Amino acid sequence: MKRFSISTLVMALMTLALLACSPKPEFKNIDITGASGFGGDFSLLDVDGKTRTLTDFKGKVVVMFFGYTQCPDVCPTTLTEMQQAMTLLGPQADKVQVLFVTVDPARDTAAILKQYVPSFDPRFMGLRPADEAALEKVTRDFKIYYKKVPGLSPGSYTIDHTAGSYVFDPEGHLRLYIKHAQGPETLAHDLKELLK
């Protein structure tokens, strides 16, 4: 039988003590830490035509929401709740990046996103896929459902789409799925957990 030295025993006890001092975050939304098969990096255009990837936001908590600017209810409600959560975060809000990814790039031009998204909070950023293939890739990667629903005229369609949001921690790991209409307090709580 192997004998452990006193120094080995002390090191093991110190490691256990450190682990006990670092409790697992208590999220109010769905913890998807370590989930595989979806999410990850992306390559989308910002309103100035610059390609953005997850690496551009390293060091910040990233909240990623898919929607479209002509959405009558879910999108403005979600962005308003995100803005209210940013207010609740106070100075910590500067360590959070909200990304609004359009699922309607045909109508959501860079100019429209540039006006719409920051109207909720100047720190929010609108992103769009470069083409239909890029839209299909990012929505497939994040398991986002979207489907055009015809309106009275060809340009008056709506889009049914996934209403939840994804959250990455400051190291770029996918951590949370935020359900729709949880309220700003719940979102702010979970963001604070990731900012610890």
pLDDT at 56: 97
**Residue 78 confidence (pLDDT) above 90:** yes
Binding-site annotation, residues for Cu cation: 71, 75, 161
* Tens digit of each residue's pLDDT (9 = 90 or more) over 20-75: 455 677 999 999 998 888 788 999 999 999 999 999 999 999 999 999 999 999 99
Domains and CATH numbers, the chain: 25-195 (3.40.30.10)
pLDDT at 106: 94
pLDDT at 18: 44
B/e letters for 88-122, b = 16+ CB within 10 Å, e = fewer, are ebeeebeebbbbbbbbbbeebebebbeebbeebbe
Q: Considering the entire predicted model, what is its pTM? A: 0.86
- Are 116 and 79 in contact by the 8 Å Cβ rule? The answer is no
- Are 190 and 61 in contact by the 8 Å Cβ rule? The answer is no
Binding-site annotation, residues: 71, 75, 161
* Tens digit of each residue's pLDDT (9 = 90 or more) over 82-131: 999 999 999 999 999 999 999 999 999 999 999 999 999 999 999 999 99
pLDDT at 174: 95
